[in-house]
Every structure is written in structure tokens, then in C-alpha cells.
Amino acid sequence: MKKLPASPFFETSVKNYIYGQDAIDYALAVEEAANKYDVDALFISPLTEIRTIAEKTERLIIIAAYMDPIRPGRGIADILPEAIKAAGAHGVLLNHIEKPMSLKQIEATIIRANELDLISFACADSIAEARAIAQFNPDIINPEPSELIGSGQASDMTYVIKTLEEVKKVSPDILVEQAAGITKSSQIYDFIMAGNDGAGSASGILKSPDPYALLDEMIYYVSLAKKELNKVK
């Protein structure tokens, strides 16, 4: 069974900013804040740290940064889906703008992920691409314009709402998460209150003066949105 996050959820990664023990310590901080505020959190992990992070955390939903849609057998240097699952990953990131994939590769990777009960977390660079990827029914879509990633400028609300609508039209079961250019906790709150299932930040946190304080605050703001949404139900 897939370890899908409950909405609203938080997502973060280390990209290539930190590695080794620093990446592990950051993952542990995400786990601590997720438990403190009762919020599910996805952590996109470097492949080399998956096993250690999996052994040291319980609530964290660990997403491998990449995998190849291959099967066990001949070959070398490819990322085998069975291997990331054995290491402790709960899912896989695909089609990030810094590791783009063709639609054919995206479909094949989602199929392999489903075979192994791995969460498929797909990125899309535009509304059209989000709509196209939604046809393959990934578990989560992150529609982030490439020009905003790491820029410190978040998606405007018109784009956020339009991508959300287009994905949910194809399948209301696909979770939609916004993360491009987010640097403020208030943006996390606003995007979730606009109807998104989750929100997150990577560069915005790790390039800030106090990453751990901002991480904690962002997850707290997810919990605030969660409380507001529960009042409406």
C-alpha cells in the first residue's frame, strides 16, 4: 500500500545544496516539525541518504529524487526502482525541470512506480504539461513554472488556481502541490487555502538566513491552514 500524505501536506528537498550528514539532519528537522504540528511531510531525498533517513524517521514520506523505469537484470549505473524501495523510499520524483523526462518516460515511470506501490510525484512546467501528465494519473502533480524555481518569486494565484482546476478536471484524485519560488510561510498558507492539497519549499528554505526556523514556521502554517479547513467541514 502506498504511504500517501493526508491533505494538507508539506514538501521539501535538499536539491544539491547540502548532502551527507547535513541532509540527514535536515530530514530529522522535517520529521520533528511534522510530528509537532501533526502535518504529513514529503522529503525528496538524495539517493545516497535514503536508507539512513528511512532508518531514522517514522512519519516522513521519503521520495527518491529519480529512478529509471527499468527492471532487474543487465545494466549498470541506472537507478533501479526495486533498489530505491529496498532502501526505504516511499515514492519517486519525476520530470523535475532539472531532470526533465519525455511524456513516454513519465508514463513508463508511473507504471513502474504503481507496480511497486511507490508514490509518483510528477512535476509540470506549464498548464498544458500538467494536463498531459494528469492523463497518466500520477499520485501528485507539482505544476511549477521553470523560470520560478529557486527564483524567490512564487507562482501568481491565477496560475495556481488554473493548474489546480485543470488537473482536478482530469482526475479529482490527483493531489496538487505548489512549491515554485516559495520563500514565505504566508505563501504556504495562501496556496493551501486556495484549494491545493499541499505546498512546499526547498531553495527558499535552504538559502534563507535561518533555514531551520523557516522550515518550522512553514510547517506550522500548514497546520494553521489545516485547522481552518477543518472548521469548514
Residue 203: CATH number of its domain: 3.20.20.70
The whole-chain average pLDDT of the chain stands at: 94
The amino acid that residue 32 corresponds to is E
- Given phi > 0 = left and psi -120 to 50 = alpha, else beta, which region is 182? beta
Domain-located, residue 2 = no
Counting Cβ atoms within 10 Å, is residue 23 exposed (0-12), middle (13-18) or buried (19+)?
Answer: buried
Express each pLDDT in 96-144 by its tens digit.
Answer: 988 999 999 999 999 999 999 999 999 998 889 999 999 999 999 999 7
Cell 508514463 locates to 107
- Given phi > 0 = left and psi -120 to 50 = alpha, else beta, which region is 222? alpha
Give the count of domains, the chain: 1
* pLDDT higher than threshold 80 for residue 149: no
Taking the C-alpha atoms of residue 117 and residue 154, their distance in angstroms, rounded to an integer, is 32
Region 32-55 average pLDDT: 99
* pLDDT higher than threshold 70 for residue 167: yes
SS3 of 122, please?
strand
Domain-located, residue 4 = no
Domain-located, residue 163 = yes
Looking at residue 233, its pLDDT comes to: 63
Q: Which of 31, 96, 129, 166 is catalytic?
A: 96
55 is catalytic: no
Greater confidence (9 vs 151) lies with: 9
Region 48-72 average pLDDT: 98
Q: Which of 11, 49, 129, 144 is catalytic?
A: 144
Domain-located, residue 3 = no
Looking at residue 144, its pLDDT comes to: 79
* pLDDT higher than threshold 70 for residue 155: no
107 is catalytic: no
- Note the pTM of the prediction, 2 decimals: 0.94
Task: Kindly report the three-state secondary structure assignment for every residue of 213-227.
Answer: HHHHHHHHHHHHHHH
Residue range of the domain that includes 204:
9-232
E strands in 85-219: 91-94, 119-124, 140-143, 175-178, 198-200
* pLDDT higher than threshold 60 for residue 153: no
Express each pLDDT in 184-206 by its tens digit.
Answer: 999 999 999 999 999 999 999 99
